[in-house]
Structures are given as C-alpha cells and as structure tokens.
Amino acid sequence: MQERIPILQMGRVLLVTIQVDMHDRLALQLQDDLTNKISESGAKGVLIDISSLEMVDSFIGRVLANISSMASVLDAKTVVVGMQPAVAITLVELGLSLNGVLTALNVMKGMKLLERE
Amino acid sequence: MSSSVLATVISNGQEDLLKEWVQQQLQAEGMRRDLIKVEELTAQSREFLQRFQGAVGSGDLLNIRSMGWSPVLESIGELSRQRGRMGFTPTETALFVLSLKAPLTRLLREAHKDDPIKFIEEITVVGELLDKLGLFTMEVFLQSREEVIIRQQEDMLELSTPVVKLWDGIVALPIIGTLDSARTSVVMESLLQRIVETGSEIAIIDITGVPTVDTLVAQHLLKTVAAARLMGADCIISGIRPQIAQTMVHLAIDLSAVTTKATLAEALKTALQRNGMKVVSSSAV
C-alpha cells in the first residue's frame, strides 16, 4: 500500500494537512488525488495546512504552486496556511514567491478567507 | 653559549633589573599612572621576568615560537589583552616589553666590561629578541581590539531589529541603519518569528531610519515582504522619505505590489482599517 496524504472534505472545502516529510512522489500523488477529489466533489475551496512542514525544496514549492493553478482551473480557491518562517525564507531565496496562491497564518484564518472569497 | 650568559646575568641582577625596569616604565612618556598601580605593575613585571629568565635558560633565543617560550608568550598575551580592555594605547602596551631593553643592556655591559665584541654580539641577539616579543604584544593587542569590534557588531545586529506589537494583529518593525544581506536575514527572521508568535496579519516595515535605499536594499525589502506574504501576513512599508521615493523611481524599483505609506501613522491607520477598526476623537462619539 502506497503512502498517501489524507484529504478531508468539510462541506465545500477540502482540507489537506501535511504532517510527514514531503518527498517528490508523495507530492505528485497529492497533486493527483487532490485534482480528482475536486472534480468529484465540486469543492470550491482547498485548504493546505503545512504548519508541520519544516523543510521544502524547489520541487515541493513548484508542486504547491501547480496545485493552486490546477485547482483554480477547476474553479476552487487554494489557501496555503501555517507556513513556518524558515520555509518562507527558503522559498523566497529560491525565487518561488507563489504568486496567485492565497496564504493565511492558521487554519481558522484560512477558513475565514475562503468564506469571504 | 650566549644564552647561558644571559640567563646568569639576569638571575644575578634580578632585583636590580626589576627595579630599574619598573622605573623605566614609570618614567616613560605618556605612562598611564591613572590606569595601573605601581604594585600591580611591579607584580606583572616580576612574573614576566621570571618566565623570561626560564625561557632564556631553555636555550633557543631567536625562535620565540619554540616550546621554551610559550609561558612568556602566554604572560604577554594575557597582559596585552588586559591592557587593551583597560584602554591603554598601543604604544603604552608595547612599551612594557621594549622598555626592558635599556636595563638589560646595562647589565650586559657590566658583564662584558673587557670584551666589547662579545658585548655587541649579545646585545644584537637581545635586541632582536625583545623586538620580536614587542611585535607579538602588538599582535595580541590588535587581535583583542578586533574581537571587541566583532562582538559589538553582533550586539548591534541584535539590538537594531526590535519587532514591536502596535495593536492586536499588527506588528511593526522600525529599521534603523543600512540594510545589508546579513542584517536583512536577521531582520527577516525576527519579523517572521514574531508574526507567528503574535498571529499578526499585518506587519508594518518602517524605513524612516534607513539612510539610503539602493537596488540591493530594495531587493532585501521585497524579499521580506514576499516571505511574510507566504506565511499569510500583509506588509505595509512606511516612512519613505521624498528623497528616497525619488531614488526608487529613478532606479526603476517596482513597489507596486506592496502597500506603501509616507508615515508610520498613516500605515497604522490603514492597518486598523483593514482589521475593521477606526480611530475617532472621543468628542465625536
């Protein structure tokens, strides 16, 4: 059985909590699962909680940006919440400022942001 | 051999030598009598002389990096560092060793009354030796000064980046002084850390105290803003002086993606507005 990141559905929002070290295959798997789930459920919002993620590389950063673009093609807004300072600094230094991705400090604020959108 | 002669000369005339040397140091021009007591100076000199005698006895007179000299170097190193901290000038510090030359010369002259050639040979060696020790004193002195400078720089780095909480959900970072890469990373880290700790959604970066903004500084600022945005906080840059606004436009620095305000007061007003608050005068309520 392949390792997967669970996707929870809460009303019209999909909640993804990343609590393990992201490796490349896992990230691609998530991208796959999430796009399927969005079209299946007709969700209007995706909330990705990365507060436990302590390290990122350029690949993971790009996958996050891609997930957001794909979700918006499927008419769902993506909010990335709880990014750690070190992760944010790394992404900026890598030149990935994730333009177009919504961000929030924590899940609660992310939910509010999605409701407003 | 010369080393043994020197050692004997020193041990025979040690008390005289010490007295004369201390006298020499006290009379030297610019000696800081206010910074060091005569007793302390005598104690330091006595200890040095003992170690010096031991080292001379061990043989190698021209290589102060050899084993026999390590107690001497240790003692001068300690003294030099101490004097550096106390505010002695380099000359005063170097004089400690160099002023030993005159009394030592006199002792040698007495020992070689009837052999001028031997005397000249000895005095050349002693001169060279004391010069080397003097140079070593200076080296340690400068090194200790540099350590102080480095420590102060680090302190300043820490001191100059306070992140203050202005209101619930609003933090401000007043930057004072020029931003370079090292400072930017400290500033960025402390700002992001505070954003997480306080759960603030708005961060105001005030650059009133930044004297000049060039492309590099602007790039550092934009990086900080981008990192804060990634975490879910909005940044407002305030305190841009007219001169700096002109420079920024001339340098074609694009700040259109960032909210900018002329003053910190304006920025705070905007931040409060975004949080759904308003400041009104009490009579208007």
HEC secondary structure over B80-126? HHHHHHHCCCHHHHHHHHHCCHHHHHHHHHHHCCCCHHHHHHHHHHH
Question: Which residue, among B151, B157, B194, has the nearest Cα to B179 in the 3D structure?
Answer: B157
Q: Would the pLDDT of A15 be above 90?
A: yes
**Domain termination site, one of B119, B140, B156:** B156
CATH of the domain at B200: 3.30.750.24
C-alpha to C-alpha distance for B20 and B4, rounded to whole angstroms: 22
Closest by alpha carbon to B173, among B221, B216, B213, B214? B221
Residue with tokens 């807004």: A77
Structure tokens at B195: 């954003």
Residue A35 has pLDDT above 90, yes or no: yes
Q: How many CA atoms lie within 13 A of B230 on its CB side?
A: 29
Mean pLDDT along residues B117-139: 87
The residue in chain B having the minimum alpha-carbon distance to the alpha carbon of residue A113 is B232
Examine the domain organization and report whether B146 and B180 are in the same domain. Answer: no
- Is B285 a member of any domain? no
Res. B1 pLDDT band, cuts 50 70 90? very low
Q: Hey, are the CB atoms on B229 and A97 less than 8 Å from each other? A: yes
Query: What is the bridge-based pairing of β-strands A7-10 and A77-81?
Result: unpaired
Task: Tell whether B46 and B173 lie within a shared domain.
Answer: no
* Chain B residues near any Cβ of chain A (below 8 Å): 185, 188-189, 192-193, 195-196, 199-201, 223, 226-233
Q: Domains of chain A by range and CATH? A: 7-116 (3.30.750.24)
Q: Are residues B15 and B87 both part of a single domain?
A: yes
- Note whether B196 contacts A80, CB cutoff 8 Å: no
Q: Quick one: B148 and B187 in the same domain?
A: no
- How far is residue B209 CA from its own chain's centroid? 24
Question: Pairing between strand B234-238 and B259-261?
Answer: parallel
Instruction: Provide the greatest CA pair distance for chain B.
Output: 107
pLDDT in tens, B71-118: 888 888 888 888 888 878 888 888 888 888 888 888 888 888 888 888
How many folded domains does chain B comprise? 2
The domain boundary, picked from B156, B172, B188, lies at B156
In this structure, the answer to whether residues B138 and B174 fall within a common structural domain is: no
* Whether residue B186 sits in one domain with residue B145: no
Strand partners, A73: none
Residue type, position B32, single letter: R
Mean residue pLDDT across chain A: 90
B212 shares its domain with B131? no
Contacts of B185 in chain A (CB under 8 A): 89
- Cβ distance B223 to A93 less than 8 Å, yes or no, reads yes
Residues of B within 8 A of A87 (CB-CB) are: 230
Contacts of A78 in chain B (CB under 8 A): none
Higher pLDDT, B180 or A11: A11
Give CB contacts under 8 A, 24+ apart, made by B82-86: B83/B141, B84/B140, B84/B141, B84/B144, B84/B145, B84/B148, B85/B144, B85/B148, B86/B35, B86/B36
pLDDT at B119: 85
Q: Which two tokens stand for residue B223?
A: 């990086």
Contact assignment for B229 to A103 by CB distance below 8 Å: yes
Sign of the torsion formed by the C-alpha atoms of B94, B96, B102 and B104: negative
Q: Which CATH number does the domain housing residue B8 bear?
A: 1.10.490.130
* pLDDT level of residue B54 (50, 70, 90 thresholds): confident
Taking only the tens place, the pLDDT of each residue in B176-231 is 887 777 788 888 888 999 999 999 999 999 999 888 888 888 888 889 999 999 99
Nearest-by-Cβ selection for B188 from A84, A89, A105: A89
What average pLDDT does this structure show over B120-148? 88
Same domain, B239 and B189: yes
In the block, residue with structure tokens 């909640």? A15
Query: What's the confidence (pLDDT) of residue B3?
Result: 55
Give me the domain span that covers residue B230.
164-279
Cβ neighbours, 10 Å, residue A22: 19
- Give the domain-ending residue among B116, B133, B156: B156
